A and B are shown apart, each in its own frame.
Chain A
Amino acid sequence: MTPVYVAVLAPFLAAVAGFFTGGRRPRTAVPVAVSGAAVALLAVLWPAAQAVTAGATGRYGDSAHLASVPTGTLPIGVDLRVDGLAALVAVAVGVVALAVQVYSVAYLKGDPRYSSYAAFVSLFTAAMMLVVFADDLLVLLVGWEVMGVCSYFLIGHHWEQPDAQRSAVKAFVVTRLGDVGFLFGIFTLGVAAGSFRISHAVGEAGRLSEHTVTVATLLLLCGVVGKSAQFPLHVWLPDAMAGPTPISALIHAATMVAAGIYLVARLYPVFLAAPVTLAVMAVIACVTMLGAALAALAQDDIKRVLAYSTVSQLAYMLAALAVGSATAAVFHLLTHAAFKALLFLAAGSVIHAVGTNLLRDMGGLRKAMPVTFATMTVGLAALTGLPPFSGYFSKEAVLGAAEEAALHEGPVASWAAWLVLVVGLLTIAVTAAYVTRLWLMTFFDAPRSGIAVHESSPAMRWPLVVLAVPAALLGFAGLGHGWLPHWLSLDERVPGGITPLDPAFPARPLHIGAVTSVLSIVLALGGFAAVLAVWRRAPSRDPSLRLQRLRPALEEAFWVDDLYDRLFVRPVRLAARSVRWTDDGVIGAAVAGSGTEATRVAGLLRRAQAGNVQTYLTGLLAGVVLLAVGVVTLT
């Protein structure tokens, strides 16, 4: 377990060091931050290697119970656990984190806030590692939310810009909304299972009532939907692109948003016991998948295109989970981490060179930035799902799982599986279209900005090259019979029931269907061809303008933001104003009024003090008479 402790603590210490010394010694910030990420990566390579080697013979797993915190009811256990899934995801996190740290050195050169920025990235890395390795739901929640707050600060890195402020607030509030549901889900699951320990809850999953499991998983899903930016809580992610580009790569593409998917995979047997939740997941995934892809089609900001594509790709992972293949989901998670990190860093390189985020101001960069062009093309191809790039295999695995669930018996209702299959295929065509548009508008035609563009510095170039390798090749890992599925060795459902898997034969291979493969390639090419045809007619024009009246709907992402503004933001503001009114006008007035009233009543009594002795005496005698009468009548 030592590598796990190191992987969590090294970036954490780097963050602490960064916060306390960074301001005074800016020179130390770079080595501290980079070495934190590097040590974490090196540390997790060891369990990953063990998982890979153990894959052939059985399941790899190790856990440690460090302490337990009494609460008065179920204790909180400080439990860590490493297995194939955790190790592989941790490697992905480590790689991306290191790449971002190195890349940021150049990207944020001369930025006075670099030290706090690097410290937040380190803290984020530590939190993500904690999420990955936690074996207790509440410990996991700690990492989960610390990631959230790091994301808040990093999105708000340019805090003097209003849109950065707005997006930071939005991202934090929206994800926290989901997290509250997540917390309640933890309660439901933990109390029902008798422990907050993940491995325990997973083991108990089959014994819990379906009602409880459904409620628990639906609540947990709230957190997943928030963190992984799925409909209806997806709105924060496109706005989060106001942060520096490496942050978009790290948090909003490769790692943090994947945490939701990872969590479902971690608790997968629990989710498998709740078919209703799986169906809900399928619907959410389909809506998000297609909607986000369509929205990406009309965005003008290159990072917003990528952001919507992230939302869309995350929906694929959720869909894979819905149709019963956690392995496919994690597979897509890993490939997506690689190619999306690559894409964001490449986009950052482009933005750094051109000085703008807007596609309409780019163009013709193919010559000036050959490395960026080549690596970005690899990433885009992987995103589209063209063979032999990684995205193809993982997406096919998802579609294959859907096909299997639709045709044969799956954990989810077959209509949901069919929905996933059809929408998944459709989305491939749309994906190809927006990818093509992005590719053409960025790199082809003549340059539209007047700036002399040149290739980025080596510190920015090398991470691109390094990331391009897995983006291109990672797909093959899923192919081999004893490879990725065995490394992960996830509990899945085989036709006939839930498996606590046979240790001797731990996983089933990914299914890649011939029909879906052919269909998806044809659809991808179709999308490509359509955009190409439009573009050839007028290379300098945005192809999406051909959408005409549809375009505003797509550009505004179907006005979901406006809807939320009307549904939630304004009523809350109204409520807040009415609370202020109540506080001043009712509660405060009641308190002040009781004082005034007391004075006023006292004033009435003052009036009785007229100074006339006869009046007093009249009152006195009348009182005596009344008392006498009272005594007589009462006794």
Chain B
Amino acid sequence: MPLLMPLMVGALLFALGVYGVLARRNAILVLMAVELMLNAVNLNLVAFDVYLRDGLLAGQVFTLFVITIAAAEIGLGLAIVLLVFRNRATVELDGLTDLRETDPPTALPVTADEQAVAT
């Protein structure tokens, strides 16, 4: 079997995951997309493990670890989403913009500390 085959499937799944993370508004859908990316990575790990015939089975063991960590991540992630939902009544990512810059830019403002010094 050509090595490229699993690799291609992995690459495409990863790209789909990227798209999902970037294009989906619902936080849970974003988490799903993350799972897609993790799976792509797993596929690669296993494929290379088999290809290289690794004596320590590093690729497969790492895949197991990743699956475990993914489970933990999804658990925590959902907890956070639930918390957000409880506080905001929404899980839409583009609504969560508390960190945005709000002041409109002005020309050479006399800044607050300038005022403070001046007085």
Contact = CB atoms under 8 A, between A and B. Distances in A.
| A and B in direct contact, judged by CB atoms within 8 A | yes
Interface of A: 592, 595-596, 599-600, 602-604, 606-607, 609-614, 617-618, 621
Interface of B: 18, 21-23, 93-94, 96-101, 103-109
B105 A610 contact: no
Given A617-B22, A618-B22, A612 B108 contact: no
Given A600-B105, A621-B18, A621-B22, A614 B99 contact: no
Given A592-B108, A600-B107, A613-B93, A607 B21 contact: no
A596 B101 contact: no
Contacts of B100: 609-612
A599 B21 contact: no
Contacts of B21: 614, 617
A602 B108 CA distance: 11
Contacts of B108: 592, 595-596, 599
A166 to B, nearest CB: 43
Contacts, number: 49
B97 A599 contact: no
B94 A614 contact: yes
A611 B98 contact: yes
Given A617-B22, A618-B22, A621-B22, A612 B93 contact: yes
A467 B29 CA distance: 117
A602 to B, nearest CB: 7
B88 to A, nearest CB: 14
A607 B107 contact: no
A609 B109 contact: no
A595 B40 CA distance: 49
Contacts of B101: 606-607, 609-611
B82 to A, nearest CB: 18
A606 B106 CA distance: 12
Contacts of B107: 596, 599-600
B25 to A, nearest CB: 8
B22 A611 contact: no
A251 B100 CA distance: 80
Given A609-B99, A609-B100, A614 B105 contact: no
14 contacts: A599-B105, A599-B106, A604-B105, A606-B101, A606-B103, A609-B100, A610-B101, A612-B97, A612-B100, A613-B93, A614-B93, A614-B94, A618-B22, A621-B22
B96 A613 contact: yes
Query: Chain A interface secondary structure, helix, strand, loop or mixed?
Result: helix
A348 to B, nearest CB: 60
Contacts of A614: 21-23, 93-94
Contact of B97 (A606, A611, A617): A611
Query: Chain B interface secondary structure, helix, strand, loop or mixed?
Result: loop
A606 B22 contact: no
A592 B107 CA distance: 10
Question: Which of A602, A607, A614, A617 has the largest count of B CB atoms less than 10 A from its CB?
Answer: A614
A593 to B, nearest CB: 9
A481 to B, nearest CB: 86
Contacts of A609: 99-101
A596 to B, nearest CB: 5
Nearest to B30: A614
A606 B100 CA distance: 9
A618 B24 CA distance: 12
Contacts of A610: 97, 100-101
A595 B114 CA distance: 15
B81 to A, nearest CB: 13
A603 B22 CA distance: 25
Nearest to B99: A611
Contacts of A618: 22
Q: Nearest 7 pairs between A and B by C-beta?
A: A603-B105, A611-B100, A611-B97, A609-B101, A606-B101, A611-B99, A596-B108
B118 to A, nearest CB: 17
Nearest to B21: A617
Nearest to B107: A596
A595 B99 CA distance: 26
B84 to A, nearest CB: 12
Contacts of A595: 108
A618 B21 CA distance: 9
Contacts of B98: 611
A493 to B, nearest CB: 72
A607 B97 CA distance: 13
Nearest to B95: A612
Given A599-B105, A603-B104, A604-B105, 14 more contacts: A599-B107, A599-B109, A600-B107, A606-B105, A607-B105, A609-B100, A610-B100, A611-B101, A612-B93, A612-B94, A612-B100, A613-B96, A614-B22, A617-B21
Contacts of A602: 105
A600 B108 CA distance: 8
A203 to B, nearest CB: 67
A613 B22 CA distance: 9
B65 to A, nearest CB: 24
A596 B99 CA distance: 25
Nearest to B97: A611
B29 to A, nearest CB: 12
Question: Which of B23, B96, B107 has the largest count of A CB atoms less than 10 A from its CB?
Answer: B107
A602 B111 CA distance: 15
Nearest to A602: B105
Contacts of A617: 21-22
A344 to B, nearest CB: 61
Contacts of A603: 104-106
A599 B99 CA distance: 20
Nearest to B96: A613
Nearest to A608: B101
Contacts of B104: 603
A604 B106 CA distance: 11
A611 B102 CA distance: 10
A446 B110 CA distance: 78
B18 to A, nearest CB: 6
A613 B27 CA distance: 11
Contacts of A606: 101, 103, 105
A603 B104 CA distance: 8
A604 B101 CA distance: 11
Nearest to B100: A611
A428 to B, nearest CB: 73
A280 B33 CA distance: 97
A609 B103 CA distance: 11
A613 B94 CA distance: 7
A607 B93 CA distance: 19
A596 B22 CA distance: 35
A104 to B, nearest CB: 56
A324 B106 CA distance: 77
Nearest to B23: A614
Contacts of A596: 107-108
Nearest to B103: A606
Contacts of B22: 614, 617-618, 621
